[in-house]
Chain A
Amino acid sequence: MNEVATPAGLESGALPMDTVGNVYVESPRITARNVDVYYGDKKAIDGVTLDIAEKQVISFIGPSGCGKSTFLRALNRMNDTIDICRMEGEIKLDGEDIYAPHIDVVPLRARVGMVFQKPNPFPKSIYDNVAYGPRIHGLATNRAELDDIVTQSLERAGLWDEVKDRLTQPGTGLSGGQQQRLCIARTIAVSPEVILMDEPCSALDPIATAKIEELIHELSNQFTIVIVTHSMQQAARVSNRTAYFHLGKLVEVGETGEIFSNPSHEMTRNYITGRFG
């Protein structure tokens, strides 16, 4: 039979409310409880409850427009920069509600950093790009300390050898993959605890992508990493846990190996086997 029947549950409004899998972990870094995010009147994230485990990589997968980036941006309050965006629910970092009225987003974002889809280095020198964060936060007390931070950040991002002789040249002069590693170095330079990555490799070629995935692997020893990805293969390669989103709801979450080999929810299964994208 060649009919493609509508997969069960795909009709609007027919999704089960409960997420399948282990949303909770022991000693989570970030906890999200019943999070709704609205763009104006449109609900982009619907009732998501999820724990982010420490020093692990969790990937968010799902079809286009399912809200994974929106949820990601909610974790460091980047959605605040969008006027019509509104959040309901609770997100806590180390047990403290990050949306509480008295919370200043500046230290929050220093602790929860972000790497964007399209590399966006500042039109400044490579050195100044990486030094930007430490400078504004006053992390270095003198020039020597600042040099140290820059050097180590570039080393950890795997970029040092390639740029050590041209730190004064503009960051925009690097290749796409190098620019993204520069952005990662820039994020690391403020010593965050969590790094959020929004499809960091989607604008890069396969070789650059491979380098970044390797980097993610190394960084996960020190940082908690949340990565949104469009590529299931990438999720399978880099992450410990995987969360599958669909139309703003968290459908299933679990160990990456389990999700990809033996998903519990039918929708997850349909997505992974490519019945829809």
Chain B
Amino acid sequence: MNSFSVALAVLLIGFVYFILGTRSATAARQSGSRLHSLPHHYGLYAGMMASLPALFALVVLAIGDDIVFNTLALDFVPDAVKAADNYKEVIVLAQIANVVAGINFGEQPQWVNDAAAAWLGWADTSRLIKTMVAIGLAAGGGFLATRQLAPDFRSRNAVERIIMFILGASSVIAILTTIGIVFSVVFESMRFFALVPVSEFLFGLTWNPQFEGAERAGSGQMGLATYGSVPLFAGTFLISIVALSVAVPVGLFSAIYLSEYASPRVRAVVKPLMELLAGVPTVVYGFFAALTVAPFLRSAGMNLGLDVASESALAAGLVMGIMIIPFVSSLSDDVINAVPQALRDAAYGLGSTQSETIRMVVLPAALPGIVAAILLAVSRAVGETMIVVMAAGLAANLSLNPLDAVTTVTAQIVTILVGDQEFESAKTLSAFALALTLIVITLGLNFIALQVVKKYREAYD
């Protein structure tokens, strides 16, 4: 039986116990006993105790068995093969997996066939174990649960405790995700920094991972590859600046007009239209940038006598700015609306015009929120991937000229990890180091934004 069938069987067993439990409770009630809870609570208790532990065990086994098999299969690899220069675990495992799946690409070494045969044996055993464990837990759990059932058993409370446990467990997923991210990124980054010094990574001025060549990681010879990330951060910085110089003025002034000047009807029409800009997927923006904006800027530049690269930072930054406009506008709008009407009344009462009130009273009062909104927009720009992959270049060019082609941290991450990955080489690991810095920067910006809002909230609370 495969895992799905076992799961179904477990659910069936659970359902059976549910019926049994409910029936016995109903019978007890009819014969005069006073039940603490409703009959279906008794059934639910029995059914849950039957199915939940079994399902959990099934999931653990299903995920875990492949890990175990991989480790065991590697024992079959002869030492001679392991010592070879081009030995890669991934390839070996893939060879074995192919044979296991019945895909034959010609003659395989005997050890591959042996390993595959053994694997199939383990898989059978594992299936048997899974089935027995799951069914056993289900039947046993249900049986033990029904033994607990009595008219005064507080089954509703028990059921609610189980539900509460499930709810709490699901909220822990958030932590698990974070741990997973931290673990995967930090762990691999540490391996990277074992090969490439942190100082070179942070302060080096050339980024050339493609010269990694056939150098084996760990041998100490890096070939001609260099991992200075400064050009990448410069590129990210440049494109973000271009994006913000579009998004902040347009977004902020739109928000001001919509919240202070516009009639409710205009607002009702314009606001959703601007939100539309936020709903467009980034890959569409990237396409637009690469196929429409970049060529346009290039030819416009040529007409003006400027040399605009075909993958200019200006094109990518401009389109990214368009994407961020609703972000800035919406957040600023919220902040401006939150300024108490009493302050505006005071200003109007003194004879201010509307623009004076906005410029000298409302905006200064809303400033912390607006600064936070801008920081969040920066964070969004820094983390943006598709627009830069499609429209900005891949040349790690250290330049602050928006007409040049530059690359960004995110573009490099994508370039490196899409393609052949060897988790042993510095090239692949560098992507993790980049991801680590990306996370630090975006979370840092978010944190600062929160602090700014918190610190100045006392202004009129």
Q: Is chain B a partner of chain A in the same complex?
A: yes
Which residues of A come within 8 Å of B, CB atoms? Answer: 76, 78, 81, 105-110, 113-114, 116, 118, 120-124, 132-133, 136-137, 172, 183, 186-187, 190
The docked-state distance in angstroms from the alpha carbon of A121 to that of B350 is 12
Cβ contacts A to B, 14 pairs, < 8 Å: A78-B345, A81-B344, A106-B351, A114-B349, A116-B346, A118-B342, A120-B342, A122-B343, A122-B361, A124-B364, A132-B350, A132-B360, A136-B350, A136-B353
With a cutoff of 8 Å between Cβ atoms, the chain B residues found around residue A81 in the complex are 344-345, 348
The docked-state distance in angstroms from the alpha carbon of A108 to that of B459 is 30
Partner of A109 from B340, B348, B364 at Cβ < 8 Å: B348
CB distance from B128 to the nearest CB of A (A): 72
Q: Judge whether B365 and A123 touch: CB under 8 Å.
A: yes
Q: Judge whether B459 and A187 touch: CB under 8 Å.
A: no
With a cutoff of 8 Å between Cβ atoms, the chain B residues found around residue A122 in the complex are 343, 346-347, 361, 365
CB distance from B12 to the nearest CB of A (A): 64
The docked-state distance in angstroms from the alpha carbon of A137 to that of B351 is 8
Known: A123-B365, A136-B356. A116 touches B351 (CB 8 A): no
Partner of B349 from A113, A118, A121, A123 at Cβ < 8 Å: A113
With a cutoff of 8 Å between Cβ atoms, the chain B residues found around residue A113 in the complex are 349-350
With a cutoff of 8 Å between Cβ atoms, the chain A residues found around residue B349 in the complex are 76, 78, 109, 113-114, 116, 187
Q: Judge whether A136 and B459 touch: CB under 8 Å.
A: no
Residue of chain B at shortest CB distance from A111: B351
Q: With an 8 A cutoff between CB atoms, is B352 at the interface?
A: yes
Q: Judge whether A187 and B343 touch: CB under 8 Å.
A: no
Q: With an 8 A cutoff between CB atoms, is B460 at the interface?
A: yes
Q: Judge whether B346 and A120 touch: CB under 8 Å.
A: yes
CB distance from A31 to the nearest CB of B (A): 21
| Chain B interface, >50% SS class | helix
The docked-state distance in angstroms from the alpha carbon of A153 to that of B360 is 21
The docked-state distance in angstroms from the alpha carbon of A110 to that of B344 is 15
Known: A123-B365, A124-B364, A172-B460. A133 touches B351 (CB 8 A): yes
Known: A122-B343, A123-B460, A136-B360. A78 touches B350 (CB 8 A): no
Known: A123-B459, A136-B352. A183 touches B364 (CB 8 A): no
10 closest A-B pairs (Cβ-Cβ)? Answer: A109-B351, A114-B349, A110-B351, A120-B342, A133-B350, A123-B459, A120-B346, A106-B351, A136-B356, A123-B365
CB distance from B454 to the nearest CB of A (A): 16
CB distance from A258 to the nearest CB of B (A): 32
Residue of chain B at shortest CB distance from A109: B351
With a cutoff of 8 Å between Cβ atoms, the chain B residues found around residue A133 in the complex are 350-351
CB distance from A199 to the nearest CB of B (A): 14
CB distance from A187 to the nearest CB of B (A): 7
| Chain A interface, >50% SS class | helix
B 311-348 binary contact with A (CB < 8 Å = 1; else 0): 00000000000000000000000000000101111111
Known: A81-B344, A122-B361. A108 touches B350 (CB 8 A): no
Residue of chain A at shortest CB distance from B344: A81
CB distance from B260 to the nearest CB of A (A): 11
B 188-222 binary contact with A (CB < 8 Å = 1; else 0): 00000000000000000000000000000000000
The docked-state distance in angstroms from the alpha carbon of A105 to that of B351 is 7
Q: Judge whether A190 and B350 touch: CB under 8 Å.
A: yes
With a cutoff of 8 Å between Cβ atoms, the chain A residues found around residue B364 in the complex are 123-124
Q: Add 4 more A-B contacts to A81-B344, A122-B346 (CB < 8 A).
A: A105-B351, A116-B349, A133-B351, A136-B351
Residue of chain A at shortest CB distance from B367: A123
With a cutoff of 8 Å between Cβ atoms, the chain B residues found around residue A183 in the complex are 346
B 344-378 binary contact with A (CB < 8 Å = 1; else 0): 11111111110010001100110000000000000
With a cutoff of 8 Å between Cβ atoms, the chain A residues found around residue B350 in the complex are 109-110, 113, 132-133, 136, 186-187, 190
With a cutoff of 8 Å between Cβ atoms, the chain B residues found around residue A109 in the complex are 348-351
With a cutoff of 8 Å between Cβ atoms, the chain A residues found around residue B356 in the complex are 136
CB distance from B363 to the nearest CB of A (A): 12
Q: Judge whether A116 and B459 touch: CB under 8 Å.
A: no
Q: Judge whether B343 and A120 touch: CB under 8 Å.
A: yes
With a cutoff of 8 Å between Cβ atoms, the chain A residues found around residue B342 in the complex are 116, 118, 120
Partner of A120 from B345, B351, B353, B360 at Cβ < 8 Å: B345
* Residue among B348, B356, B360 with max Cβ neighbours from chain A (10 Å): B348
CB distance from B397 to the nearest CB of A (A): 46
Known: A123-B364, A123-B459, A172-B460. A106 touches B352 (CB 8 A): yes
The docked-state distance in angstroms from the alpha carbon of A109 to that of B460 is 25
The docked-state distance in angstroms from the alpha carbon of A140 to that of B345 is 23
Q: Judge whether B361 and A116 touch: CB under 8 Å.
A: no
CB distance from B100 to the nearest CB of A (A): 70
CB distance from B452 to the nearest CB of A (A): 15
Residue of chain B at shortest CB distance from A133: B350
With a cutoff of 8 Å between Cβ atoms, the chain B residues found around residue A78 in the complex are 345, 348-349
The docked-state distance in angstroms from the alpha carbon of A124 to that of B361 is 9
